[in-house]
Structure 1
Amino acid sequence: MIEKDVIIVGGGAAGFFAAINIAEQNPHLKVVILERGKEGLQKVKVSGGGRCNVTHAEFIPQELIKNYPRGKKELLGPFHQFMTGDTIEWFEKRGVALKIEEDGRMFPVSNTSQTIIDCFLNEAKKHKVEVLYNHSVKTIEKEGDLWKLDTSLGDFSTKKLLIATGSNTKIWNLLEGLGHRISQPVPSLFTFDIKDERIKDIPGVVAQHVEVKVLGTDLWSDGPLLVTHVGMSAPAILKLSAFGAIELAKRDYKFQIEVNFIKQSFEDCLDVLKTLKHDLAKKTVIKSTQFDLAKRLWQKLVLASNMNQETRWADLNKSQLENLASQLTQAIFQVDGKSTFKEEFVTAGGVELKEINFKTYESKLHKNLYFAGEVINVDAITGGFNFQNAWTGAYIAARSISE
């Protein structure tokens, strides 16, 4: 039986961040990370297309929490203790400068996730954090004041235990065995699978200012929309997938969406089209792209409005004008499935939030059992928000553990 002062299960972002902070704040503690894989930080590696989307340039806690479909209310207090500005300072103190992109996402200036990985590995080594790979945890038991863990490569005991395993079903099952309730995990960030002539053969086309609604629900979002080989993606869709994770899972990912490609009302759009009918009378509709839409998307929507390649503006009848206005502002698409968003899998679900003390990230059921990251029922939209949740929870848990 190997004895340690602090054991952290999970060698991902939250695990390393917590371990480094514990060892830094209390150098007398023997801290070990148990990672089930042969290497850790794999999610950090693939985040942001290999650049690592560290956080998001939102510096007001009340605004930041709006990006969390689950955990919004609970994160307000923690974000007042450690949030974006603290994250930036933490990394800069360790030689990692971050930059802000136009959409608010923040990346290392180096543009590679390896910078973040190297920072964590170097800091862990510097503060004598032991990292044990290929240690898959099989059992977690409480014996008196000690936690006993049986792993694939040996047994451990510790006074303080932090679980930072992300969306790991096996660990959730072990926590259920300790009496914790687990919210049923469902995918949170995903793209929509859509087969439709209007978006066929135009992958890569982006509509910048779109509003999307899920019919039969109150779910809606806005932002850029990207046409892909299998359907639709980009922030407008990903936000919808995050906020609608549970509802869309209930529908087995089969539902209809209404897309407003120009964020105008049907009536306003129709008025513009009537004016264009007069102003562009002799021109063909298909070659007269409007509303700042991509040319290929405009052409697809025109053809879907009961027109052909030769139809001129002057020849449009009332029905065709209304059809085009409808395609632009209330186009209905059938969604028939989902696809994982790149490799940035995020899951809604985890340890019930009511069972965690968010001042310390300690279990309300068991003393000296802590959580950080996606192992709890918190998730966010894309853009660095999931990492910020990990940094915040890991930091607060670390501070409590090291006292």
Structure 2
Amino acid sequence: MHQYNVIIIGGGAAGFFAAINTAEMNPNLKVAILEKAKEGLQKVKVSGGGRCNVTHAEFIPQELVLNYPRGKKELLGPFHQFMTGDTIEWFETRGVELKIEDDGRMFPVSNSSQTIIDCFLNEVKKHDVEVIYSSGVKSIAKNDDIWELQTSDVTYYTEKVVLATGSSSKMWDIVEGLGHKIIKPVPSLFTFNVRDKRIKNIPGVVAQDVEVKVLGTHLESQGPLLVTHVGFSAPAILKLSAFGALELAKRDYRFQIEINFIKLDFENCLEQLKTLKQDLAKKTIFKFSQFGLPKRLWQQLVLASDVKETLTWADMNKNQLEALSTQLTKAVFDVDGKSTFKEEFVTAGGVDLKEVNFKTFESRLYRNLYFAGEILNIDAVTGGFNFQNAWTGAFLVSKSIGNS
């Protein structure tokens, strides 16, 4: 008979973390992970371009929660229980040293996600956690105090169930069948598709600090902007995609953005351009970039202002000065669709947060049913924040189960 004290469904980051900590806190519990794929931890493997962005170097709970468009209020208490510093200590005590990069992202010193995977595989072996692959759960039912989990060929029985299946539509359907409300999922972390002659021939160019607004909404962000072969990416765009996930889905990902490339308003920029007209009178506008902009981007904005490549500053007329100021401070681009950000697919949506006790991450509808990670209606901007949600939720689940 396939009977356990605890079964974690989902062999991803949250699932392994929950299993390891549960078994460590209470060695008397028989713990298993059911994973539908032939191997687990696939999202860990591709995270951060194969380096695994474990967490982010933000150590104040009130500041950390600001990176979660959904889950901000609910995660504040949990982050006081298990925080970034706890994550760092957890990995370091198991031989995995982390490093902080300039933008705050944290990676293993090895720069390889395999380091994290090996750590987890060693820990489940050490704590006698059984990992059962190719075991997709088809149904979940509760009979008295025992949960019955049905796969294609085996029925498992357990006292406690942890759902850590990430953005799984099949598992959301099962959870909905149990009576939980599921917030319809929409993509939350994506890049913007833009076809525009101003950026057509300059993929790879990065403007280090811009302001971006979605016209007709209150959505705005700032930070680095990357021109790609299909449009725009980098933090300035990814923040908008996360915080605007629901609004942009309503618009079917067709909308306009306004970009301020130099973070000056139109009038101040115009005054500076007039000064340049005097100070650089004999120099060719096209050749010499201003305001710290990448040269190729500057040149495209100059051309878009109806300024020829051979024109000098002295020859700039009023209309051209105003046109260039507009391109620099409020350039409008048409967005027509989205693309997945690298291999990292994140969604807004999942189990309604009102139906979860965030002291333990236990269901408010069923005793001994727990949730961890992205199966919940929680998501974050890029930078290690989604993993931190997974570690925190999984740890508090383990604490609740291990001490019960």
TM-score, normalised on structure 1? 1.00
Count of paired positions: 403
- Quote the residue 1:161 is aligned against: 161
C-alpha separation in 1, matches of 2:100 and 2:231:
29
- Quote the residue 1:14 is aligned against: 14
How is 1:292-371 mapped onto 2 (pairs within 5 angstroms)? 292-371=292-371
- Quote the residue 1:217 is aligned against: 217
Q: CA deviation at 1:304?
A: 0.1
Q: CA deviation at 1:111?
A: 0.4
Letter in 1 for 2:264: Q
Q: CA deviation at 1:260?
A: 0.4
Q: CA deviation at 1:49?
A: 0.3
Post-superposition Cα deviations, 1:128-175, rounded to whole Å, max 9, x if no partner, equal: 000000000000001100110101231101110000000000000000
Tell me if 1:94 matches 2:94.
yes
User: Is 1:134–1:152's contact at 8 Å kept on the other side of the alignment?
Assistant: no
1:396 partner SS: helix
- Quote the residue 2:249 is aligned against: 249
- Quote the residue 1:73 is aligned against: 73
Post-superposition Cα deviations, 1:363-395, rounded to whole Å, max 9, x if no partner, equal: 000000000000000000000000000000000
Greater alpha carbon shift after TM alignment, 147-156 vs 236-245: 147-156
C-alpha separation in 2, matches of 1:177 and 1:385:
30
Post-superposition Cα deviations, 1:287-325, rounded to whole Å, max 9, x if no partner, equal: 120011000000000000011111110011111000000
C-alpha separation in 2, matches of 1:356 and 1:138:
23
C-alpha separation in 2, matches of 1:170 and 1:296:
47
- Quote the residue 2:172 is aligned against: 172
C-alpha separation in 2, matches of 1:144 and 1:402:
21
Q: CA deviation at 1:2?
A: 1.1
1:287 partner SS: coil
User: Is 1:269–1:325's contact at 8 Å kept on the other side of the alignment?
Assistant: yes
User: Is 1:134–1:153's contact at 8 Å kept on the other side of the alignment?
Assistant: no
Letter in 1 for 2:16: F
- Quote the residue 1:33 is aligned against: 33
Letter in 2 for 1:391: W
C-alpha separation in 1, matches of 2:328 and 2:370:
50
2:92 partner SS: helix
C-alpha separation in 2, matches of 1:263 and 1:91:
40
- Quote the residue 2:373 is aligned against: 373
C-alpha separation in 2, matches of 1:65 and 1:112:
27
Post-superposition Cα deviations, 1:38-80, rounded to whole Å, max 9, x if no partner, equal: 0000000000000000000000000000000000000000000
C-alpha separation in 2, matches of 1:3 and 1:42:
27
C-alpha separation in 2, matches of 1:378 and 1:175:
16
Quote the RMSD (CA, aligned, Å).
0.5
TM-score, normalised on structure 2? 0.99
User: Is 1:45–1:52's contact at 8 Å kept on the other side of the alignment?
Assistant: yes
C-alpha separation in 1, matches of 2:152 and 2:131:
15
Letter in 1 for 2:169: T
Letter in 2 for 1:143: N
C-alpha separation in 2, matches of 1:116 and 1:274:
55
Q: CA deviation at 1:402?
A: 1.1
- Quote the residue 1:140 is aligned against: 140
Q: CA deviation at 1:109?
A: 0.3
User: Is 1:25–1:399's contact at 8 Å kept on the other side of the alignment?
Assistant: yes
How is 1:47-58 mapped onto 2 (pairs within 5 angstroms)? 47-58=47-58
- Quote the residue 1:389 is aligned against: 389
- Quote the residue 1:227 is aligned against: 227
- Quote the residue 2:60 is aligned against: 60
Tell me if 1:272 matches 2:272.
yes
Letter in 1 for 2:341: F
C-alpha separation in 1, matches of 2:327 and 2:146:
64
Post-superposition Cα deviations, 1:168-190, rounded to whole Å, max 9, x if no partner, equal: 00000000000000001000000
C-alpha separation in 2, matches of 1:382 and 1:333:
23
Post-superposition Cα deviations, 1:25-47, rounded to whole Å, max 9, x if no partner, equal: 00000000000000000000000
Q: CA deviation at 1:249?
A: 0.4
C-alpha separation in 2, matches of 1:104 and 1:82:
19
Post-superposition Cα deviations, 1:197-220, rounded to whole Å, max 9, x if no partner, equal: 000110000000100000000000
2:256 partner SS: strand
C-alpha separation in 2, matches of 1:110 and 1:307:
49
C-alpha separation in 2, matches of 1:172 and 1:261:
41
Q: CA deviation at 1:326?
A: 0.3
Q: CA deviation at 1:358?
A: 0.2
Post-superposition Cα deviations, 1:212-261, rounded to whole Å, max 9, x if no partner, equal: 00000000010000000000000000000000000000000000000000
- Quote the residue 1:151 is aligned against: 151
2:286 partner SS: helix
